[in-house]
Amino acid sequence: MRTNILLALAIASSALLGACNWGETIDQYPCPSGGTKLTWKNFGQSFFEQWCDRCHSAEEGDRNGAPGVDVFETDDQVKQLKDRIFLRAADTNDSMPPGPDDPPLATRKDLAEWLACGAPE
């Protein structure tokens, strides 16, 4: 009985991990040698407003499963979670946001660059 439960948990874990498309980490993605021209004001704020805040800044109960501690309304909040955000939404990492209308790859690459360069204001 215990073996069956462990086997079922292993299969479920494998299926869940396989559903995530996690590519590079923020440590593997270098900031360009000249830095970035992307800032919170000209990129980050609008990115999070368009793609993330519908859930990550919503009131409790309207967050569609987004953890209550993951709020992206300010550059400081994003900086605190930049590693996690990178793994879920930047470059070829595309498990967030969920849904058919995802950010295009070029926009995800901009997010990767901005985060890898320290998410400048």
pLDDT digits (tens, 9 = 90+) for 62-81: 999 999 999 999 999 999 99
Which amino acid appears at position 32 of this protein?
A: P
State the average pLDDT for the chain: 85
DSSP 52-63: THHHHTSPTT-S
Instruction: Give the CB-side neighbour count of residue 48, counting CA atoms within 13 A.
Output: 27
Model pLDDT for residues 30-70, shown as the tens digit of each residue: 999 999 999 999 999 999 999 999 999 898 889 999 999 99
Nearest C-alpha neighbor of 72 from the set 48, 50, 88: 48
Contact 15, 96 (CB under 8 A): no
> Token match 């209308």: residue?
101
Q: Domain coordinates of the chain in residue numbers? A: 24-116
Counting every residue written for the chain, the total comes to 121
Q: Whole-model pTM?
A: 0.79
